[in-house]
Structures are given as C-alpha cells and as structure tokens.
Amino acid sequence: MNELLTTFEQASTMQWILVGALVIAVWFLPVVLAVIFNRRQAKLIAIACVPAGFSLIAWSAVLVWAVTGKAIEKYLPEKIKARL
C-alpha cells in the first residue's frame, strides 16, 4: 500500500492531467457513441452518463442504450414504425 501512495505522490502534474482526461473520456464514451448511433436520445444519454459513471452496471446499460438506438427501429414491425 505504501508503494502505491508513493507512486501517487511522485506523479507529475502532466500525468494527473492525462489520467483525468482518460477518466472523463471513458466516463462519457456513451455520449460519443450516442451521437453516432442514437442522435434522437443523445441528450438523455448525456444526462444519464453523469450518475451512471459511478456504477459499472448502470454505465454498461447506458452504453448499450447508446449503441442500439437505430438498430431497434430497424427490426420493429411496420405498424409500430408508423406510430413513431
């Protein structure tokens, strides 16, 4: 445990900035994917990403929601597509 603490103490500012940027990029990965796959619900996915990042299960659910947006509409029956 002491080795881990000394590693944290010896990290430079640039290393902390890099780690912070990486954490934010992974945290908001569903938003980026939602812009690509599920544009209509990208705002809702962005809002859901903030609390979902604290739970791996919730973050995974938001990630699945982000990438399955248009795929769900593709396989819907024609009657349901007409309602949308």
Residue-level pLDDT at 60: 93
pLDDT computed for residue 37 by the predictor:
84
Judge residue 40's burial from the number of C-beta atoms within 10 Å of its C-beta, 0-12 exposed, 13-18 middle, 19 or more buried.
exposed
Backbone angles phi, psi at 59, to 5 degrees: -65, -40
Alpha helices for 1-84 (secondary structure H): 2-10, 13-27, 29-37, 42-52, 56-67, 69-74, 78-83
pLDDT values of the chain reduced to their tens digit, one per residue, 84 residues: 788 888 888 989 898 999 999 999 999 999 999 988 877 888 999 999 999 989 999 999 999 988 887 666 666 677 666 766
What global pTM score does this model have?
0.70
Structure-token match 């590693």, residue found? 7
Residue 6's alpha-carbon distances to 2, 3, 30, in angstroms, are 6, 5, 34
What is residue 4's predicted lDDT score, i.e. its pLDDT?
83
